């Protein structure tokens, strides 16, 4: 691409400040995407080499999980230098080259910002934990013990055990909602906020187009450190933590979801607005109020643009009735907000396995998510239909899985390397020994194999993404409410007079649906969309879709 073309592409990317609304974002887990140097760990140069493939999918942006300097106790979600690239992933120069290549291909770049906590090896904590009088002493959440020496309250860690660890030099406990090596920052201290906003500006100045904000609702802890109330058994669920984790026994009223967070998000958005087109998507981790919090955090123009909750990442089957329940709840609690939907990511069982989907079902769900109101995150390998990999205990890397094995096997099964070709045991990911074994069951789904099969799922994703971009009603439009007739989810999307009717049969049985009044023409035939009959009915086969444009 010549310099003029590069300039024109960059200008186009900046010009659409509303690009995020309805965008399709492709998540890359850098350890597992592509290794460029044979050490068995994916890296930034590996990502750069595969960006033409990502661009060929038709997505709008990539989201790269953490690549910052880290001791890797939680694989990069424990940051020891927010401004540095961990040597295993490359250098800042490698990152700059990645951004330049992505922009030349028309891809925006979003990176994962982990603001709620750092590594215990971060210089801030190295100073904070020494005594109570240094200039970083109040940068983390510290508390005196109860008179009997026990932790200050009953808060629990998502990764198991109490959320407090004793520091003998200070004779105080520090808070960690995750691993004990991930101490929580004290957002009540404005200096902490300022430092994190400086980090944000650092990456914006390097050309990133936005951020995925890890655990966005965990930033603040209750100033009074009050005990969380018990949660009645009937209200417990395993949306955020596995069912064997006692974390589910509490209503996390005080350890997260604090109202002060809205003020910080306003500061964060104000900074984003200095960079035209910069956007953020927040991860809302809450099993009871996730959608409500999503609505609060994306309301208006003074907070983040998008958030996702865990409703579609849950283990429970995603039936037509469940889709209607979730979308109607969003209409109720997030009328002025914007959702970002995902079926899979680096923290949950891949949805092909989680919901035990057939190839036809995977196509139906892909079409569904790309027709919903909201933005969409696709996780690497999802477009290949990869199932969850079975990782033996001796090969586990995830501390979460090691802690709760065998009832919960952790997150390694969705983090195994991407499969590019079936010609060797490592799937074209590396010439060395991969950090996690490549699943034998994945090799027949490799990119190179599917590229040469016109009927492959990979091409279905491309077609569904292209259809979404071809019709603004599907990407940016409103909907008229989501309904279910039996196992069929149906709704109409509208934008500037364009109306598209969408129906997806989420079952193995055929179904018939009445088309709304009006004249309609079938679209999406390349996705298997059925045409309406002359009498105004739509006859749908198992896992078939019906997409029609009002004329």
pLDDT digits (tens, 9 = 90+) for 95-112: 999 999 999 999 999 999
Count Cβ atoms below 10 Å from residue 534 Cβ, excluding itself: 6
Helix (H) or strand (E) holding 547: strand 545-550
Contacts of 420 (CB under 8 A, 6+ apart): 34, 50, 427, 428, 429, 446, 447, 448
Supply angle C-alpha 479, 480, 483, rounded to 5. Answer: 105
Give me the chain's average pLDDT, please.
Answer: 96
Question: Could you report the per-residue pLDDT of 202-238, keeping only the tens digit for each?
Answer: 999 999 999 999 999 999 999 999 999 999 999 998 8
**What letter would DSSP give residue 13?**
H
Model confidence pLDDT, tens digit, residues 515-532:
999 999 999 999 999 998
pLDDT at 11: 47
Query: What is the arithmetic mean of pLDDT over 288-310?
Result: 96
**Cβ–Cβ < 8 Å for 81, 119:** no
pTM above 0.85, yes or no: yes
Phi-psi region of 72 (alpha: psi -120 to 50; beta: other; left: phi over 0): left
List the catalytic residues.
Answer: 214, 274
* 533 pLDDT more than 90: no
DSSP 463-478: HHHHHHHH-HHHHT-E
- Mean pLDDT across 134-158: 98
Residue 161 pLDDT greater than 90, yes or no: yes
E strand or H helix at 293, and its extent? Answer: helix 290-297
Question: What residues pair up with 156 in beta bridges, in sequence order?
Answer: 162
Confidence of residue 12 (pLDDT cuts 50, 70, 90): low
DSSP H/E element including 359: helix 359-369
Residues 6+ apart with CB under 8 A from 332: none
Q: Please give the structure tokens belonging to residue 231.
A: 């949660």
- Confidence check: pLDDT of 414 > 70: yes
Domains of the chain: 3-115+190-468 (3.20.20.80), 477-550 (2.60.40.1180)
Angle formed by the axes of helices 290-297 and 320-333, nearest 10°: 40
């Amino acid at each position: 691409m010549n310099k003029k073309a590069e300039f024109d592409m960059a200008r186009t990317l900046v010009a659409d400040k509303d690009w995020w609304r309805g965008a399709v974002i492709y998540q890359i887990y850098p350890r597992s995407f592509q290794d460029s140097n044979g050490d068995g760990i994916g890296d930034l140069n590996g990502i750069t080499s595969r960006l033409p493939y990502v661009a060929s999918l038709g997505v709008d942006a990539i989201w790269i999980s953490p690549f910052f300097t880290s001791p890797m106790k939680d694989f990069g979600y424990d940051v020891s230098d927010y401004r540095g690239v961990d040597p295993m992933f490359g250098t800042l120069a490698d990152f700059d080259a990645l951004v330049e290549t992505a922009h030349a291909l028309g891809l925006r770049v979003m990176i994962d910002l982990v603001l709620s906590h750092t590594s215990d090896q971060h210089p801030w904590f190295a100073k904070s934990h020494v005594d109570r009088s240094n200039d970083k002493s109040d940068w983390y959440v510290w508390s005196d013990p109860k008179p009997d020496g026990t932790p200050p309250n009953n808060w629990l860690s998502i990764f198991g055990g109490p959320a407090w660890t004793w520091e003998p030099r200070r004779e105080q406990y520090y808070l960690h909602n995750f691993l004990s090596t991930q101490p929580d920052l004290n957002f009540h201290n404005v200096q902490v906020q300022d430092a994190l906003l400086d980090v944000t500006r650092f990456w914006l100045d390097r050309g990133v187009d936005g951020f995925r904000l890890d655990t966005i609702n965990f930033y603040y802890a209750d100033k009074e450190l009050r005990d969380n109330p018990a949660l009645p058994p009937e209200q417990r669920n395993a949306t955020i933590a596995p069912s064997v984790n006692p974390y589910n026994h509490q209503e996390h009223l005080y350890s997260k979801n604090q109202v002060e967070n809205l003020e910080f998000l306003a500061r964060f958005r104000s900074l984003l607005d200095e960079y035209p087109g910069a956007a953020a998507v927040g991860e809302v981790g809450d099993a009871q109020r996730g959608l409500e919090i999503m609505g609060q955090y994306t309301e208006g123009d003074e907070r983040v643009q998008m958030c996702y909750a865990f409703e579609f990442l849950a283990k429970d089957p995603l039936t037509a009735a469940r889709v209607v329940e979730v979308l109607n709840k969003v209409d109720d609690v997030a009328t002025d907000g914007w959702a970002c939907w995902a079926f899979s990511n680096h923290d949950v069982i891949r949805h092909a396995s989680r919901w035990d989907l057939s190839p036809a079902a995977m196509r139906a769900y892909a079409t569904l998510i790309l027709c919903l109101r909201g933005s969409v995150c696709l996780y690497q390998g999802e477009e290949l239909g990869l199932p969850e990999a079975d990782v033996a205990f001796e090969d586990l890397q995830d501390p979460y899985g090691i802690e709760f094995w065998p009832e919960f096997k952790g997150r390694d099964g969705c983090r195994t390397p991407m499969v590019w070709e079936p010609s060797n045991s490592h799937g074209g990911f590396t010439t060395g020994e991969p950090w996690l074994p490549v699943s034998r069951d994945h090799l027949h789904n490799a990119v190179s194999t599917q590229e040469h099969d016109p009927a492959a799922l990979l091409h279905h994703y491309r077609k569904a993404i292209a259809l979404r971009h071809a019709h603004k009603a599907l990407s940016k439009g409103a909907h008229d409410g989501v309904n279910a007739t039996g196992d069929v989810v149906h709704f109409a999307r509208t934008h500037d007079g364009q109306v598209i009717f969408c129906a997806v049969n989420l079952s193995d049985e055929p179904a018939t649906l009445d088309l709304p009044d009006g004249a309609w023409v079938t679209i999406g035939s390349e996705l298997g969309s059925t045409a309406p009959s002359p009498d105004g009915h739509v006859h749908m086969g198992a896992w078939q879709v019906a997409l029609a444009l009002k004329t």
